[in-house]
Amino acid sequence: MASLGELERSVMEVLWTSDVALTANEMRDALALRDDAARMVATTTVLTVLSRLERKGFVSRSRDMRPHRYRALLSREEHTAELMHEVLDRSADRDAALARFVGTASAGEAATLRRLLDELARH
């Protein structure tokens, strides 16, 4: 049995690779085709996971028609950028609650990354 965290990750993977908004049933079918722990789950489980993800601000739901359709709010790359941004910002201003190993050393890459992120944000 897959943990809730793994299920959330698998559901997001499905949404991130899909070009269109999906229903819970379509997602269940897509999960069944995947080769990981999340295959073969009930639609109700998918709905539970989706509402958790919606509450956390990762998924948006369109309620125009039934069944509701879901899509990822941001791309995987955008979320990764957000995460890296937080960690690198912390290391740059020494405002570090979280310990890091490289942080200090990657200042150059941090500058490059920040430029890329800023470009990304402008689109």
Partner 1 sequence: MLAVSAVLGVLAIALAWPVPVVLARADWPSRAPAAALALWQAIALAGGLSMIGCLLAFGSAPAGSLPAAVAALAPYLLTGPLPAGFGVAEIAALTLAVAIALLLTLNLALTAVRAERERRRQHQLIGLLSHPMPGDPRTRVLAHPVPLAYCVPGIRTATVLTDGLIDVLTADELTAVIAHERTHLDQLHHLVRLSFRAWHSAIPWFPIANRAEHAVITLTEMLADDGARRAVGTGPLRGALERVGDAGESGASLDGTSGADSDAAMLAARLGRLDEPATPPPADPRGVRAAALTASAVLVAVPLVGYAVILGIVP
Interaction site with partner 1 (CB under 8 A): 5, 8-9, 12, 56, 58, 76, 79-80, 82-84, 86-88, 92-111, 113
Nearest distance from residue 66's CB to partner 1, in Å? Answer: 27
Residue 23 CB, nearest approach to partner 1 (Å): 21
The owner of tokens 């229903």 is 23
Q: Which is nearer to partner 1, 5 or 33 (CB)?
A: 5
Q: Which residues pair with 62 in a beta bridge?
A: 69
Q: How many CB atoms lie within 10 A of CB 20?
A: 7
Of the two residues 47 and 81, which places its CB atom closer to partner 1 in the complex?
81
Nearer to partner 1, 32 or 102 (CB): 102
For the bound state, the minimum distance from the C-beta of residue 49 to partner 1, rounded and expressed in Å, comes to 11
* Min dist. Cβ of residue 68 to partner 1 (A): 21
Residue whose C-alpha is closest to residue 54's, from 33, 38, 34, 68: 68
Q: Which residues contact 91 (CB under 8 A, 6 or more apart)?
A: 100, 103, 104, 106, 107, 110
- Both structure tokens of 20: 């269109």
Residue closer to partner 1 by CB (options 67, 104) is: 104
DSSP letter at 96 equals -
